[in-house]
Structures are given as structure tokens and as C-alpha cells.
Chain A
Amino acid sequence: MVAVGVERSEQPESSNARSDRGPGPGVDRAARQERPPVLTDPEQRVTEHLRYRDSVVNHEAAHSWDAAVPELQGIWEKIKSKYGYTERSVSVAQPTDGSWRGDGGRKLDSAQNAEVDRGYARIREVGEHTIIPGLRAVEAEDPTRHLAGFDHRFKGLNRLKEKVADLLEPRSKLTATDALYAVSDTVRCTYMYTETSYTRGVLHDVERLKSRGFELDKLKNTWTSDQYKGINTQWVDPASEVRFEVQFHTRASLEAKELSHKAYERIRSIMEPTPKTDLEAGELEGFQSKVNAKVPIPPNVSVIEDYQREKRDG
């Protein structure tokens, strides 16, 4: 936090000029050099006041979240111990006939599996050459926030197949390729802001992404949700029709998402519900609520409204 001379700036302008003449008798030179500057321009004073206020709000948000994390980690450790979780995930043995098996009893037959493999390669290529450079270019337009979790910009193939299998679960005429292209976060990125720059920053970045030619399909503001804090958006690169996801977070909301991710993974891996897994699922959802209850809400975030583009096929 930086102390500024806002409170003392009522001094007449001439005091500035006087201070330029050098230290008077008995004045310690070092102390004078550390004294904050006196702002005399009203516009500059307002700007500096707002900057100072923002720094206080951001500092308090960071402090309250950081103070909550150890307790939340402790709760997670207790849940892990109670249900006997291990850190290493056990990968599901794959059949030799070209089909795929995943957590929670999910499966794709060999034709579906091959479709997803081919489609995934194409989506990654579009991601590398078109989408990610566009997201990077938007990032470069504003140095006050940055992309986070860039190493995870492509969804892992196994998790993608899980999502495709989930979409194929209800009886429908959907093909694996249909389902693959409906998954919006095969390519994904996160912009991270301070609390006070969040609302304005998200609105600006949505417009910047549009001006890069990307089309907004969906925006969901879940800052009022007890399970997940943030804003997730779904976009389309119109030339390739590949979808991608952009998440908008503060540091706290991103860390909350990461802290509760293992709970979510465990819920996803349940195959057959039993009285024990019912209890566990309730407890895991309760844990996610506790984590998210501690996330400071950015000012004015409710002005960002949900959006859903009309379906192109009617």
C-alpha cells in the first residue's frame, strides 16, 4: 500500500514551490524525501484517491481470503481422511478393441472413441493457431490483469471423453462428433483481475474478444452461486466453428475453484450411488459451499448480466 498526500493536499499551491527550495534548518533530509507528494490538481487528487481506495479494498479482500484458506484446507484434509482418498488418481484400464472406458462407468465404443481422437486433434490445432493467439493479443491490451493457468489451456483427452460420454448418456440421435463440438472448454483460458478492476475489466475484455472476431455464445455470472464464483463465457471461432471457454476470475475465486476441484473430481468419479456415497456427495457439496462463501465479491459485479445467443439452427 502506498501512502499519498491526499489528506494534506489542502495546502496552498505555493507550499509546493517553497518545498522546492531545499530543506530548512533542522529538517532531516531523509525524512523529507520519504514524505508523500502533495497533489494539487483536483483531477489528479480524485484519481489518486480512487487508486488508494482500490488498493485498500484489494488488500482487504486478499487478506480475508488468505486468512480463510488454512481452515478450508484443514476441512478438506478431514474429508480426505474420512473417506480414504489418495492423491494419485487411478487410471481406468483401457480395453484393447479401440473403445474407451472412463471414471464413473463412462464408455465410448471404438467408432466414437476414434471420432473424438480425430476431432480433438483438429480442435487443438485451431486452438494453437487461432484462438490462443487471439486471447494472448487481448491480454497484451491491458497490463493490469493477465491470463492464468495457461498450462491447462487444453482439456485433457480423458476428461474430454468423459464429457462426450456424459452428453451421449440420454437417449438421442447425437453423434460423438456432435457431442465433441458441443463441449465448450476443450480450449480454455482464464483472465485474472483484482477485485476492484474485475467488473470493468471483464466488460472491456468481452468487447475486446468480440473485436478480435470471436462470437459470444453464452455468459454466465455465478457470483451469487454457493458452489462456484466467477464468470464463465463460451465463444466460437466463426471460421472453424470451434468453441472455447474464457473464465473471468479474481485470485480468490480462482484459488477457490482449485481448492474445491478435488471434491468435484471425487463427485464425478462416483459410479453407483450407495448410502455412503450419498453422504459423501452431500459433504463434498457442503465443502464447496464453505470454500466459496469465503471468496470476496468484486464490487458491482451484478451489473454483468447472463447472456445466451439465440441458436443459429433455430
Chain B
Amino acid sequence: MAETTTYYAIVNDFSSRENPFGVIRRVKHDGGQRDEIFSRDLAWKHTSLLYSAERGDLTNDMVPISEEEADRIVARIRQRR
């Protein structure tokens, strides 16, 4: 199985679908999977937020998005102070 990456916009009380709170990516490969969030340190870092949402946690909605949209969100986050 080739490596596949799915991106998710994080939408919660402090954000909207148009202006998401953050972005997560799930990388699946032959040897398993990993989830990473674009963190406040402006780097990709391990997260369990997607697992939480999958288990019914209502704090964040995870909306699948394209890689291009993920890039745009990352660029916006980089501009936040």
C-alpha cells in the first residue's frame, strides 16, 4: 500500500468551515498510521484529536479537505500572532 495522507480542517466554537481552527493530517502506510497537527510551534506534531473526534468527542469537528486547502490553512496559521 502506498502512503496516503488525508487532511482535516478542525472546526469548533472558535472557528468556522471557512476559517478553520487548525489542520490535522493522517498518514497511512504499510506499517500503520500517524496523526499530526500543525502546532503552535509551526511544525507538524503528533496529536490524538482526530481519534477523540472519532470516538464521539464533540469539541472539534474534523472535516476532510484537500491538500491544497490544508496548505492554505497552514499559511493562514503561520500569519497568526
Spell out A's residues near B (CB within 8 Å): 104, 163, 166-174, 178, 182-185, 218, 220, 222, 225, 227-228, 230, 232-234, 245, 247, 257, 264, 267-268, 270-273, 275, 277-283, 285, 288, 311
Contacts and interface: CB of A to CB of B under 8 A. Distances in A.
A232 B22 contact: no
- The CB with the most chain A CB atoms within 10 A, among B35, B38, B51, B52, is that of B51
Given A182-B14, A228-B56, A282 B48 contact: no
Contacts of B71: none
Interface in B30-75: 31-40, 42, 45-49, 51-52, 54-59
Contacts of A168: 40
Contacts of A270: 46, 48
Interface of B: 10, 12-14, 16, 21-23, 28-29, 31-40, 42, 45-49, 51-52, 54-59, 77, 80
B59 A268 contact: no
Given A171-B77, A183-B59, A184-B58, A285 B39 contact: no
B31 A267 contact: no
Given A270-B48, A279-B31, A282-B33, A228 B14 contact: no
- The CB with the most chain A CB atoms within 10 A, among B13, B22, B23, B52, is that of B13
Contacts of B31: 275, 278-279, 282
Contact of A267 (B16, B38, B48, B57): B48
Contacts of B32: 275, 277-283
B36 A273 contact: yes
A268 B12 contact: no
A227 B26 CA distance: 15
A104 B46 contact: yes
6 contacts: A170-B40, A183-B59, A225-B54, A267-B51, A268-B48, A311-B16
Contacts of A166: 47-49, 52
A278 B33 contact: yes
Given A232-B56, A281-B34, A169 B13 contact: no
Contacts of B29: 278
A196 B40 CA distance: 47
Nearest to B29: A278
Given A170-B10, A184-B58, A273-B36, 4 more contacts: A245-B58, A280-B32, A282-B31, A283-B32
A61 to B, nearest CB: 20
A172 B80 contact: yes
Nearest to B61: A308
Contacts of B59: 163, 167, 182-184
Nearest to B15: A172
B37 A169 contact: yes
